């Protein structure tokens, strides 16, 4: 019997759209699979390119998961055999449009008792956002069966410069001709078709149990210890900042302070903390670190 797939995503630059197109290619080529693609739009769109002030202004609501109104969602079917959710993290949380989607009653209805594969495209920090998505999916009674995390593989500091350049100018080229191109590489975007093939094979049998394991063998997720370490700490700190900023009368001022705090934390404090960790803690925690990496690479929720 024909299988119905919904591939729903948000994108500003088109990066996630390109990922979704490549990823769903093998499914669309299968005669017994119908893929319905749905790009979501907030009623009030976020600017692209961003100004620095508006970019940082998205932090508190991203972290708190405050929903915004979306343009009407229309689904061709009332139930799907698989939902593919393409998203991007904003400030270590699902982007505001995606967290709005996950809280939308009609989407929650569609999610109920349905297998879901998540695919993200980001700079390099997606773990916290994925944990939040796992929770939202569980609340909607959906079953997360697979996850693919596409990242910018360049050095953490180079990609920090290039993502800000891209987001604040709208240009996805090499800053000053020196820095690498921002975002997920064209090869990795095109390569997501390989993961699509694996998902297609599992969809044919409707046997989801080993999907994530098979995706991991293909390199769908690559967790680097230093990034995981920084992200876990930063996730907790962002939560505190968002609580302080939300509802404050000094919001604009606090956001400027947050911006400089973030740059100092990432460029100065993080390397020092990582050094202390590497000398005094990491060598004695290898089992725990391995377990953490396995957990974040998986699809279960603690
Ligand atoms: C407001 C904002 C915050 C972002 N925060 C993160 C982040 O926490 N981690 C990360 O790896 N990438 C982050 N990014 C990059 C996005 O995840 C994404 O890669 C980029 O916006 C392009 O996605 P799109 O064109 O598909 O929307 C952020 C981008 C924006 C606009």
CA–CA separation, 27 and 24 (whole Å): 5
Q: Is the CB of 185 under 6 A from ligand 1?
A: no
Atom of ligand 1 nearest to the CA of 16: 26
Q: How far is the CA of 207 from the centre of ligand 1 (A)?
A: 32
CA–CA separation, 194 and 197 (whole Å): 5
Q: Is the CB of 11 under 6 A from ligand 1?
A: yes
How is residue 79 written in tokens?
């139930």
Q: How far is the CA of 203 from the centre of ligand 1 (A)?
A: 29
Per DSSP, which regions of 232-290 are E strands? none
Q: Using 50, 70 and 90 to split pLDDT, how confident is the model at 247?
A: confident
For residues 49 and 83, is the Cβ–Cβ distance under 8 A?
no
Instruction: Kindly report the protein residue whose alpha carbon is nearest to atom 24 of ligand 1.
Output: 11
- Lowest mean pLDDT across 38-42, 165-169, 266-270: 266-270
Mean pLDDT of the chain: 97
Q: Is the CB of 15 under 6 A from ligand 1?
A: yes
* Average pLDDT of span 113-135: 98
Instruction: Give 155's DSSP letter.
Output: -
Instruction: Give 73's DSSP letter.
Output: P
pLDDT of 1 above 80: no
CA–CA separation, 146 and 216 (whole Å): 9
Instruction: Give the pLDDT confidence of 6-37 residue by residue, as tens digits.
Output: 999 999 999 999 999 999 999 999 999 999 99
Q: Is the CB of 96 under 6 A from ligand 1?
A: no
Question: Which pTM was predicted?
Answer: 0.97
Report cis status (omega within 30 of 0) of the bond before 49: yes
CA–CA separation, 37 and 8 (whole Å): 6
DSSP assignment of 222-236 equals ---HHHHHHHHHHHH
Q: How far is the CA of 90 from the centre of ligand 1 (A)?
A: 5
pLDDT value of residue 183 = 98
Instruction: Kindly report the protein residue whose alpha carbon is nearest to atom 2 of ligand 1.
Output: 90
How is residue 223 written in tokens?
């967790």
How is residue 246 written in tokens?
């939300």
Q: Are strands 33-39 and 82-87 parallel, antiparallel or unpaired?
A: unpaired
Q: Which is it for the CA torsion 67, 72, 78, 80, positive or negative?
A: negative
Instruction: Give 247's DSSP letter.
Output: T
Strand partners, 115: 143
pLDDT value of residue 143 = 98
Which domains, ranges and CATH numbers included, belong to the chain?
A: 3-227+292-297 (3.40.50.360)
* Average pLDDT of span 154-175: 97
* Average pLDDT of span 212-231: 98
CA–CA separation, 181 and 240 (whole Å): 33
């Amino acid at each position: 019997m024909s299988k119905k797939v919904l591939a729903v995503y948000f994108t500003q630059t088109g990066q996630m759209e390109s990922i979704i197109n490549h990823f769903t290619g093998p499914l669309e080529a299968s005669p017994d699979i119908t893929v319905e693609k749905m790009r979501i739009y907030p009623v009030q769109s976020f600017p692209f390119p961003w100004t620095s002030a508006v970019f940082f202004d998205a932090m508190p609501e991203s972290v708190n998961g405050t929903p915004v109104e979306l343009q009407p969602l229309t689904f061709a079917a009332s139930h799907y055999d698989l939902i593919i959710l393409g998203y991007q993290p904003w400030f270590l949380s699902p982007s505001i449009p995606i967290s709005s989607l996950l809280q939308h009653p009609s989407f929650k209805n569609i999610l109920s008792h349905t297998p879901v594969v998540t695919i993200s495209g980001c700079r390099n920090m997606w773990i916290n956002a994925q944990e939040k998505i796992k929770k939202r999916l569980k609340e909607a009674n959906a079953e997360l069966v697979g996850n693919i995390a596409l990242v910018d593989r360049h050095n953490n500091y180079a990609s920090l410069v290039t993502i800000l350049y891209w987001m604040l100018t709208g240009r996805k080229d090499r800053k000053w001709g020196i820095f690498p191109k921002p975002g997920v590489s064209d090869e990795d975007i095109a390569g997501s078709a390989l993961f699509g093939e694996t998902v297609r094979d599992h969809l044919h049998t409707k046997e989801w149990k080993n999907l994530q394991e098979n995706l991991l063998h293909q390199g769908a997720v690559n967790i680097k210890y230093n990034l995981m370490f920084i992200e876990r700490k930063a996730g907790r700190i962002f939560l505190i900042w968002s609580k302080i900023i939300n509802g404050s009368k000094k919001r604009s001022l606090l956001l400027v302070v947050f911006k400089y705090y973030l740059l100092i934390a990432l460029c100065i404090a993080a390397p020092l903390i990582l050094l202390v960790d590497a000398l005094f803690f990491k060598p004695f925690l290898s089992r725990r670190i391995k377990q953490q990496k396995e957990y974040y690479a998986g699809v279960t929720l603690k």
